[in-house]
Amino acid sequence: MPELDLSWGFAALLALAFFAGLVDSVIGGGGLIQVPALLVFLPGAPVATIFGTNKIISLAGTSVALARISKSVAIPWRTVLPAALLAAVFAFIGARAVTLIDPALLKPVILLLLIAVALYTFMRKNFGALHQPKFAQHHERLVAMLVGAGLGFYEGFFGPGTGRVSVW
């Protein structure tokens, strides 16, 4: 792992991490700040390591959010748990896919994904604010599992912006 300049670089990375957490807690999309910051301030680090670092941060934030929301909202665990299991499996597959792609090809893809997710996040500020299920009860689990698999792969492969889509 490359050494981090412990002067201004470390302070800037900490400040950006704090700002990313703040943005993520208010409107989501903190990974859109965190991933570029990690790429800039850890230039020699493998892309998969950068993404893994972001995943740990994301997992911590998501766990806290789940703990808080589960106190006030009845979570349909019979639907959520199978979807979460598939999301975890496909996240592993997505993360593995990142390690198989040439970093020279991956960096432009990351830039395009960051731009696309940033535009989506900023243009659809209220996406997911109103939940209106559109599926019959017996189809809900299947749809949740398909969405879990797709989001899981995306989260494992890239990640930023997943929270904006998963509130669907």
Tens-place pLDDT, residues 105-152: 887 888 888 788 778 767 776 655 666 667 777 788 899 899 999 988
How many domains would you assign to the chain? Answer: 1
**Range in 12-16, 19-23, 120-124, 136-140 with the lowest mean pLDDT:** 120-124
* pLDDT score, position 126: 64
Note whether residue 3 is domain-resident: no
Per-residue pLDDT for 6 more than 70?
Answer: no
Note whether residue 69 is domain-resident: yes
* pLDDT score, position 12: 87
Q: How large is the average pLDDT for residues 18-32?
A: 77
Per-residue pLDDT for 168 more than 60?
Answer: no
Per-residue pLDDT for 22 more than 60?
Answer: yes
**Exposed (0-12), middle (13-18) or buried (19+): which is 65, by Cβ within 10 Å?**
middle
* pLDDT score, position 83: 92
Note whether residue 155 is domain-resident: yes
* pLDDT score, position 85: 94
Q: Please enumerate in sequence order all residues whose Cβ is within 8 A of that of 23, keeping only pairs 6 or more positions apart, or say none.
A: 29, 30, 33
Tens-place pLDDT, residues 78-109: 888 999 999 989 988 988 888 888 888 887 88
Radius of gyration of the chain (CA): 17
The residue range of the domain holding 159 is 8-166
User: Could you give the count of Cα atoms lying within 13 Å of 31 in the half-sphere of its Cβ?
Assistant: 29
- Cβ atoms of 114 and 54 closer than 8 Å: no
Note whether residue 1 is domain-resident: no
The model's pTM is 0.69
Tens-place pLDDT, residues 31-49: 778 888 888 888 888 888 8
Note whether residue 152 is domain-resident: yes
Q: How large is the average pLDDT for residues 40-67?
A: 81
Note whether residue 94 is domain-resident: yes
Torsion-angle region of residue 128: left (phi > 0), alpha (psi -120 to 50) or beta? left
Note whether residue 135 is domain-resident: yes
Note whether residue 2 is domain-resident: no
- Cβ atoms of 24 and 31 closer than 8 Å: yes
- Cβ atoms of 120 and 164 closer than 8 Å: yes
